[in-house]
Structure 1
Amino acid sequence: MSIGAIGVTGIVILLALLILRVPVAFAMFAVGFVGIWILNGWNAATSLLASETFTLASNPELVIIPLFILMGNVASVTGMSRQLYDAAYAIIGQVRGGLASATVIGCGGFAALSGSSVASALTMGKVSLAEMDRFAYDPRLSTGVVAAGGTLGILIPPSTGFVIYAILTEQSIGRLFLAGVLPGILLLSCFVLTITLLCWLRPAFGPKGPKTDASEKLRALTGALPILVVIVLTIGGIYGGFFSPTEAAGVGAGAVVLYGFATRRLRARALWIASRDSIVTTATVMLILIAAHLINPFLALSHIPTVVGEALAALNLNTLGTLVVILLVYLVLGCFLEGFAMLVLTLPIFFPVIIQLGIDPIWFGVLVVLTLEMGLISPPVGINVFIVKSVAPNVELGTIFRGVLPFWCAMLVTLAILIAFPQISLILPDTMMN
């Protein structure tokens, strides 16, 4: 069997294992380790496993992952996410569809703490779905907005998706965080506009909520002040040059823990549970990264990236056309694969092509992360849809998928805008980090 055939066989086996729901890290580890063993010998495979595991475990940049995850978990336990939602609801809840818009804004705010789409969908689902049900919102809108709003957690910094992309491509985490700010705000705005249009076309989708007076609005905004302070302290500290992303993660995690103890909303047992969940999530991410550093050399040894690059060149497309083809591949894969699996599987193949074409890797990172978001609500996998289903067991899965369709279209429009206007992604990193 030729080297190229071994590479293709490895990819087919990997896809089959992922479809069979074998954990991503174990599937990539098996294929990468055995593939290197076949192509380069047992000693090379074992040596690479040992060296890459140590290198990743000793990488100080990866400290950002457990710290930001802990910050999001503690914020959820202390009710900070609920306070942000209440503030948004007090301001815009009285307009038609306002409760759904408040949910999206709450998801965006919580995303700026947790960096996790699953955590955002789960937390805001628990907070908002009962309220929207109480005001007779159509289940398609209520569940769809939570599933779609939760995806903001992977785009609005701090984003775990950006951290993984940065590690795999050796790009700056700080630049990627800056690049995600305006696209995140743009996507959030498109979601709010989608809600407004849906409720204008079908008023029964989102009835008006009760009016709140100025004192109630002020009280709600005051309640949301702690979470806003933490967001400004961490994200603003990065953008202002006061903290590195890792330092900001430590400051943010420490701030929410101190706030929890000061307000007596955080008990020792709750902190233990939040810490344990953070460790489990971090271990999962670390296993995926270690496996990624085994699958990447296997793909390089089998010349798969070179073959793909030559195939794309043979299409005689311009730079924009090649970029669109690559993003279409991500959109299709998003229907079947989990986001981290897609990053680890495809970046070693596509990233050399992107660099060769002269495409800005930071801009490409934003586009890739946005396509990963779309995969979070795309059938049949759509993990955010299943998260919402677990919070709203009485709503049919098909109803939730129909509910996310308008928001998926809004994400597609946002992707087109970001492709047409790269400076939306690049203006902040280019002006604040040069």
Structure 2
Amino acid sequence: MTELQIGILGFVALFGLMVMRTPVAFSMLMVGFFGTWIVEGLRRAGALMLTESYSAVANYSLIVVPMFILLGNISSEAGFSRGLYDAAHAWVGRFRGGLATASVLGCAAFSAVSGSSVATAVTIGKVALPEMKRLGYGDGLSTGSIAAGGTLGFLIPPSTGFVIYAILTEESIGRLFMAGILPGALMMLLFIAAIWIVTLRDPAQGPKGHAVPLAERFTLLFRALPLLIVIVVSIGGIYTGIFTPVEASGVGAALTVLLAFGTRAMSLSGFKRAVMDTVRTSAMLYMIVIGANVLNPFLALTNIPDALGHALEALGIGRYGTLIVILLSYVVLGMFLDGLAMLVITVPIYYPVIVALGFDPIWFGVIAVIVIEMGMITPPVGLNVFVVKNVARSVPLATVFQGVTPFLIAMIVCILLIILFPDIALIIPNSMFN
């Protein structure tokens, strides 16, 4: 049996383990360890397990993950996320579809501190869905806007997806964070446009709300100021070069803790819950990184990336044809795998192909993250859809999937625009780092 055949069998085993609901991290660990054992022997496999596990968790850049997760959890416990939604609601709620628009704006703002798609959908969904139900919004639009808006947490910095992509490819976390700003803003605007089109076709889906007096609007905006300050300081600090991403994550988390206790918005028990949630989520992400670090050398040994590159080249469909094939494979995988699983499994294989084709790896990181976001709201897995369904228990699952359809179209438009105009993703990082 050739090394390539062993690699293909390893992939079959990997997907088989995940189908049997083995955690992604342990699936990768098992395939990477036993695959290396078969190819190079037990001694090499054991050494790989030890060295790669240590090097993965000793990576200084990975500190970004728990710090930004803590920032998001503290914000949620302190109710700062509610302040973001209330402020957005006050300013745009009087328009048709205004509450759905406020939900997208709230998701975008909370994404800038959480870095998690699921956390964003849950946090804003708990606040926004009851309000939209009370005002008679259509179930499809209300749940669809939350499920889609939550995906912004995987794109708008500090994105967990960008951190994992940077570690897997050894690209700059700072460049990736900056590359996500304009695409994130574009995606948000396209989601708002989708809401406007839905309510234009069927006004009953998003009735107008009551106008809020100007003084009250500014009062609510002032209440949201603590979290807005954290966003400006942490993300703005990276942009201006005052902080590295790691430093910005620590400063942001510390500021949030001080604001939460300083304003008496959070109790000690709430702080403990936020810390424990951070530990659990961070441990899961660290295990995924360890699993990827053990799996990747096995993939290199079996020459799977080279074989894939030669196979795509043999198709004779050119650079952009190859890119489309890769993106379509993400769409298919998104029907069965969650976003992080797709990222850690596919990036080590596709990254060498993308670089060989002459595409900018930072630009591809943005494209890949958006396509992976699509997988979060497409059937049958659609993780964000199930999260929103758990919040809106009375809404049928089919209705939620139907509700996200306009937003999926908006995401496709966003991808096409970034492919046609790469500077949407590259202008900020290139202006900063070149």
Query: Which residue of the partner structure matches residue 77 of structure 1?
Result: 77
- How far apart are the structure 2 equivalents of 1:264 and 1:343? 39
Q: CA deviation at 1:17?
A: 1.5
1:31 paired residue number: 31
Residue 355 of structure 1, CA deviation: 1.0
| Corresponding letter in the other structure for 2:277 | D
Q: Match for residue 56 of structure 2?
A: 56
State the match for 2:311 in structure 1.
311
The 2-side partners of 1:21 and 1:396 are apart by 25
Aligned match of 1:351? 351
Query: Is 1:230 matched with 2:224?
Result: no
Tell me the equivalent position of 1:88.
Answer: 88
- Between the aligned partners of 2:275 and 2:173, the Cα distance in structure 1 is 24
Match of 2:408 in 1: 408
Query: Is residue 308 of structure 2 the alignment partner of residue 297 of structure 1?
Result: no
Shift of 1:169: 0.2
Displacement of 1:50 in angstroms is 0.5
Amino acid corresponding to residue 167 of structure 1 in structure 2: I
Partner of 2:339: 339
Alignment of 1:373-388 (within 5 A): 373-388=373-388
Letter aligned with residue 324 of structure 2:
V
Residues 342-381 of structure 1: CA deviation (Å, up to 9, x unaligned)? 1111112111111111110000000000011000001001
Whole-Å Cα distance in 1 between the matches of residues 172 and 228 of structure 2?
25
Counterpart of 2:41 in structure 1 is 41
1:265-280 paired onto structure 2 within 5 Å: 265-280=265-280
Q: Which runs of 4+ in 1 moved over 4 A?
A: none
Unaligned segments of structure 1, at least 5 residues: none
Which deviations, in whole Å up to 9, do the C-alpha atoms of 1:34-71 show, x marking residues without a partner?
Answer: 00000010011110111111112211111110000000
3-state DSSP of counterpart to 1:359 = coil
CA distance in 2, matches of 1:262, 1:4: 59
Corresponding letter in the other structure for 2:236: G
User: CA RMSD, aligned part only?
Assistant: 0.7
SS at match of 1:210: coil
Q: Deviations over 1:49-103 (max 9, x none)?
A: 1111111221111111000000000000111111011111111100100010000
Instruction: Give the equivalent residue in structure 2 for 1:151.
Output: 151
User: Residue in 1 aligned with 2:260?
Assistant: 260
| Normalised TM-score (structure 2) | 0.99
Amino acid at match of 2:139: P
What is residue 129 of structure 1 aligned with on the other side?
A: 129
Look up the SS of the partner of 2:211 in the other structure. Answer: coil
- Secondary structure of 1:158's aligned partner: coil
Task: Find the residue that maps to 2:404 and give its secondary structure.
Answer: helix
**Separation (CA, whole Å) in 2 of partners of 1:17 and 1:145:** 33
Q: How many residues are aligned here? A: 434
Read off the aligned partner of 1:433 and give its amino acid letter: F
In the alignment, is the contact (CA less than 8 A) between 2:56 and 2:293 conserved in 1?
no
How big is the shift at 1:16?
Answer: 1.6
1-structure distance, mates of 2:366, 2:386: 25
- Paired residue secondary structure (2:215): helix
Calculate percent identity across the aligned residue pairs.
54
Q: Secondary structure at the match of 1:45?
A: helix
Residue pair 2:53, 2:294 contacting (<8 A) in 1 also: no
Please give the secondary structure, in 1, of the residue aligned with 2:373. helix
Please, which runs of 5 or more residues in structure 2 have no aligned partner?
none
1:221 corresponds in structure 2 to 221
Which shifted more, 49-58 or 161-170?
49-58
Quote the residue 2:240 is aligned against.
Answer: 240
State the distance in 1 between where 2:100 and 2:85 align: 10
Instruction: Give the superposition deviation at 1:5.
Output: 1.3
Shift of residue 159 of structure 1? 0.2
CA positional deviation for 1:20: 2.2
User: Equivalent residue for 1:65?
Assistant: 65
Distance 1:172 1:351 in 2: 14
Deviates more, 1:319-328 or 1:105-114: 319-328
Kindly state the Cα deviation for residue 19 of structure 1 after the two structures are TM-superposed.
Answer: 2.0
